Structure 1
């Protein structure tokens, strides 16, 4: 027998030193879980941290809004499911400002780890996929703008009542959700579905597969919405919420003291009033809220899409499950479908809040954030109440609005807030959060918009 022999030269001392130099700033962590498993991260110098955070979060600033959207997991770098809008609209009466965050991401259970979608044995806790959040991102602003323009053509801005604008916003969101539902019902009406054989359902879907694929993905994914609309004179602001993102209004009095107001309630099962609402709507169904999730599946209680939780279970069993790849396992289909008795379980009804502004007496700012921001503080073992968290955010952002140092971070207030959330002055924690080598997400997607009123 003839063996191939490979001769390898021993590394020189210089090569050994170079190799050691390359790994000297690498460390490992167990993420506080215990056990033997470790993950590697790269310790970055302070000068590099802000540069890297700026790059990874796509930090941008417009005339009136600073923004970041952040997901550091390299394996999921292109799977950040948060989207946002920053727009100015020239309408009758002046320029309106529109900002919004759409969160189609997993909703963490406020732990240090976010379970990925569609993994056997893992827990489904949020919206899986990009289709619905992209659909909302692409369509909602134009619907709001068109409806608002029609309103302003009928009613002069000087006679505009706040409730008129609130109704425009609410109707726009519900119209978009109804459009998703209507496409499903037009393609596969409920009475037809119940009368068709499995073979007929298979044939109908296979003959129109491209259309079915677009419809079914919208129906089995979801998106939250948090938006702000301000009038040309900055005398009024409307906040609409559907889901578990949060809006905080900051106000600085003439004495220089900042105060924070949490604008919206959060639509998830941690909100007792939301859990009670669902239980009251389904009084004989113990599983309508279980494991702190709707039907044991979804953390948000209100969302666009997630249509399979708004229609009879026959759609889940006979349409979505057999004809949608990589969705739920057969066991999960049986489990969740058996709980769908009196839909809908997820609401498309948003809450709209109106605030009168007085920029002559107060300096004002607005922070919009997806739920991933508060998760970061929880993951870092910073235990604050919701109001304490809001006070912290406003105090930090307000301070840096007037800071004469750290000008790079001051130029983007959302970036300043993100830096605080990923570890602040703890360079080791910030480095770990930015560079951890782990194939699964170790944090939820985070999007922050900071709007300045001048």
Structure 2
């Protein structure tokens, strides 16, 4: 056997020092999991932290809304599934403001569909209402109803596309070979429909009238809305607007069990049929239609969805659908911005998750108080140059570590293929 010999020149002392300089700010962490595995991160100087946070979170400010949307993991499969809208509509009576966060799960198709279609559906519904009722005579419950109807109509459109493509009676009569041929002939159409049916999105939105006298907030899912207001004495107070629609909310699990009596598996392992954490959402149609769609249509004809064993397990629990609701809750607040300063925080559940992961366990009210206090302190700051006046960015910095530069650095630069935090989207809306 002949061996080739490679001669390498020894590094100079200067090259050794340069190599050490390049890695001196790199650290490792076990993420508190214990065990032998470690992940590398880059310890950034304070001056660079906010710059990098601003870049990664796509921080932006409009006339009245600051926004961030953040997912530091760069792996393609874990790209941010949150979306948001900030729109102003010129309608009868003046300019209405619409803001919303859509938190997608299990993929991007449904959340993209919701993000594209819901604002225009709300606008058309509101416009039709304003054309029939003058804004001076408009009752708040009519706007609430219009918002609710727009959301439910959007969810109904996802189911309608499925039933138009594959009616229930036709599906039950088809053989496996016939179904396979039918789907293959129209695969592009089927792929779009089935993706929206097996993925989902929560939504939380806010709508304010031209004079900023009325604020409507709609929630479907586990995002959060917090209203901050300052009294004449200068003290800020926080109101959590909405209840959270997931299995951590006892009233939601009780509702599902009440709707499905004698079905022990309707909620299992703190998830709907053991699968989904949100109890109300757009999409997730397979949990709203007969199980034959899961067994015969989605499982065999949708790539990379669920392993066969899980399909059998979940389908066996779908007895009396729907299990996930598309009925939102709508809240109305009367505002008087001439007498008190008011702002609204909308956030996807990733923001709450960051505080739940801290050593101190926060209640929802404690989190809300902290957020409102933080935004209130910096609302009129003239020294907030490092955050470029973006109040949502200020909240994000607090969530990912605050003044702990090592923790912020870790959360921003961790070298890991799996997500180490949920997607975080925050909108802070000021009413003037």
For the aligned pair, the TM-score class normalised by the smaller chain equals: over 0.9
Aligned to 1:250: 228
- Rounded Cα–Cα distance in structure 2 between residues aligned with 1:76 and 1:267: 28
Please give the residue correspondences for 1:73-112 in structure 2 after superposition, counting only pairs within 5 Å: 73-76=73-76, 79-104=79-104
TM-score normalised to structure 2 length: 0.99
Which residue does the alignment assign to 2:124?
A: 146
Q: Deviations over 1:98-145 (max 9, x none)?
A: 0000000xxxxxxxxxxxxxxxxxxxxxx2100000000000000111
User: Structure 2: how far apart are the matches of 1:90 and 1:78?
Assistant: 37
Q: Which residue of the other structure, out of 268, 276, 281, is the alignment partner of 1:298?
A: 276
Residue 36 in 1 paired to residue 14 in 2?
Answer: no
1:117 corresponds to which residue? none
Aligned to 2:215, which of 218, 234, 237?
A: 237
Which segment drifts farther, 1-10 or 283-292?
1-10
Query: Among residues 134, 137, 162, which one is paired with 1:184 in the alignment?
Result: 162
User: Cα distance 1:77–1:418, how it changes in 2: closer, same or farther (>3 A)?
Assistant: farther
Helix, strand or coil for the counterpart of 1:74? coil
CA displacement 1:316-349 (0-9 Å, x = unmatched): 0000000000000001001100100000000000
In structure 1, the residue corresponding to 2:121 is in which secondary structure?
helix
Counterparts of 1:24 and 1:415, CA distance in 2: 29
The offset of 1:5, in angstroms, is: 2.6
Alignment correspondent of 1:387? 365
- Could you tell which deviates more after superposition, 203-212 or 405-414? 405-414
| Alignment check: 8 A CA contact 1:76 1:440 kept | no
Match in the other structure for 1:16? 16
How far, CA to CA, are the matches of 2:324 and 2:359 in structure 1? 31
Show structure 1 runs of 5+ residues with no match: 105-126
1:129-188 deviations in Å (ceiling 9; x for gaps): 000000000000001111111111111100000011101100000000000000000111
What are the within-5 Å matches in structure 2 for residues 61-80 of structure 1? 61-76=61-76, 79-80=79-80
Partner residue of 2:141 out of 143, 158, 163: 163
Could you tell me how far 1:76 is from its partner in structure 2?
A: 4.1
Corresponding residue number in structure 1 for 2:399? 421
Q: Which residue of 1 aligns with 2:242?
A: 264
Which of residues 349, 368, 378 is equivalent to 2:327?
Answer: 349
Kindly indicate whether residue 428 of structure 2 is the aligned counterpart of residue 450 of structure 1.
yes
Distance, in Å, in 1 between the alignment partners of 2:274 and 2:351 is: 24
Match of 1:172 among 150, 174, 179: 150
Residues 73, 79 of structure 2: 8 Å contact kept: no
Instruction: Answer yes or no: is the 8 Å Cα contact 1:414–1:448 preserved in 2.
Output: yes
Q: Is the 8 A contact 2:78 2:418 kept in 1?
A: no
**Alignment RMSD, CA only?**
1.0
Quick check: 1:249–1:367 contact (8 Å CA) kept in 2?
yes
CA distance in 1, matches of 2:390, 2:23: 33
How far apart are 1:409 and its partner, in Å? 1.9
Superposed counterparts of 1:114-153, under 5 Å: 127-153=105-131
Q: TM-score, normalised by structure 1?
A: 0.94
In the alignment, is the contact (CA less than 8 A) between 1:401 and 1:410 conserved in 2? no
The residue number in structure 1 matching 2:47 is 47
Q: Does structure 1 residue 317 correspond to structure 2 residue 312? A: no
Unaligned runs of 5+ in 2: none
